[in-house]
Structure 1
Amino acid sequence: MMKIRTRILLVAVLFMWVGATAQMDKTANVFLITLDGVRWQDVYQGLDTALVQSNYTEDKDLLNKMFSGSSPEESREKIMPFFWNTIAKDGQLYGNRTKGSKVDLTNKMLFSYPGYNEILTGKADDAHIDSNDKNYNKNVTVLELANKQEKYTGKVAAFASWDVFPFIINDKRSGVPVNAGYMNAKGALSEREQFLNEMQRQAPVIWESVRLDVFTHHFAKEYVKKNHPKLVYIAYGETDDFAHGGLFDLYMKALHNTDALIADLWQYVQQDDFYKDNTYFIITTDHGRGEGVREHAKWTDHGKEVQGAEHTWLAILGPKVKQVGETDNVQLFTNQIAPTISELLHLERDTKMITAKPLFLE
Structure 2
Amino acid sequence: MKIRTRILLVAVLFMWVGATAQIDKTANVFLITLDGVRWQDVYHGLDTALVQSNYTEGKELLNKMFSGSSPEESREKIMPFFWNTIAKDGQLYGNRTKGSKVDLTNKMLFSYPGYNEILTGKADDAHIDSNDKNYNKNVTVLELANKQERYKGKVAAFASWDVFPFIINDKRSGIPVNAGYMNAQGDLSGREIFLNEIQRQAPIIWESVRLDVFTHHYAKEYVKKNRPKVVYISYGETDDFAHGGKFDFYMKSLHNTDALIADLWQYVQQDDFYKDNTYFIITTDHGRGDGVQEDSKWTSHGSNVKGAQHTWMAILGPNVKPVGEAVDGQLYTDQLAPTIAEILDVDVDIQTMPAKPINLK
Same fold (TM over 0.5): yes
Aligned to 1:26: 25
CA RMSD of aligned residues (A): 1.6
Q: Distance in 2 between matches of 1:18 and 1:153?
A: 21
Aligned with 1:296: secondary structure?
Answer: helix
Aligned with 2:274: secondary structure?
Answer: coil
Q: Distance in 2 between matches of 1:124 and 1:271?
A: 37
Identical amino acids, percent of aligned pairs: 82
- What do the CA deviations read for 1:291-329 (whole angstroms, capped 9, x no partner)? 111120000000000000000000000011001000011
Q: Displacement, 1:348?
A: 2.2
Q: Displacement, 1:232?
A: 0.1
Q: Distance in 1 between matches of 2:14 and 2:299?
A: 61
- What do the CA deviations read for 1:90-135 (whole angstroms, capped 9, x no partner)? 0000000000000000000000000000000000000000000000
Aligned to 2:4: none
Aligned to 1:334: 333
Q: Distance in 1 between matches of 2:13 and 2:212?
A: 48
Q: Displacement, 1:28?
A: 0.4
Q: Displacement, 1:352?
A: 2.0
- What do the CA deviations read for 1:169-220 (whole angstroms, capped 9, x no partner)? 0000000000000000000000000000001000000000000000000000
The reply on whether 1:186 has 2:185 as its aligned counterpart is: yes
Are the structure 2 counterparts of residues 44 and 323 from structure 1 closer, same or farther at C-alpha, using a change threshold of 3 Å? same
Q: Which runs of 5+ in 1 are unaligned?
A: 1-10
Size of the aligned set, in residue pairs, is: 351
Aligned to 2:52: 53
Aligned to 1:177: 176
Aligned to 1:161: 160
- What do the CA deviations read for 1:59-114 (whole angstroms, capped 9, x no partner)? 10000000000000000000000000000000000000000000000000000000
Q: Displacement, 1:149?
A: 1.1
Q: Distance in 1 between matches of 2:231 and 2:178?
A: 12
Q: Distance in 2 between matches of 1:18 and 1:350?
A: 37
In the superposition, the TM-score normalised over structure 2's length comes to 0.95
Q: Distance in 1 between matches of 2:73 and 2:252?
A: 16
The reply on whether 1:215 has 2:199 as its aligned counterpart is: no
Q: Displacement, 1:13?
A: 10
Matches within 5 A, 1:217-236: 217-236=216-235
Q: Distance in 2 between matches of 1:159 and 1:212?
A: 12
Q: Distance in 2 between matches of 1:90 and 1:16?
A: 32
Aligned to 2:3: none
Matches within 5 A, 1:135-150: 135-150=134-149
Q: Which runs of 5+ in 2 are unaligned?
A: 1-11
AA matched with 2:132 = D
Q: Distance in 2 between matches of 1:49 and 1:15?
A: 57
- What do the CA deviations read for 1:26-78 (whole angstroms, capped 9, x no partner)? 01000000000000000000100000000000010000000000000000000
Aligned with 1:216: secondary structure?
Answer: helix
Q: Distance in 2 between matches of 1:186 and 1:155?
A: 16
Q: Displacement, 1:21?
A: 3.7
Aligned to 1:354: 353
AA matched with 2:140 = T
Q: Distance in 1 between matches of 2:169 and 2:53?
A: 41
Aligned with 2:296: secondary structure?
Answer: coil
Q: Distance in 2 between matches of 1:349 and 1:314?
A: 22
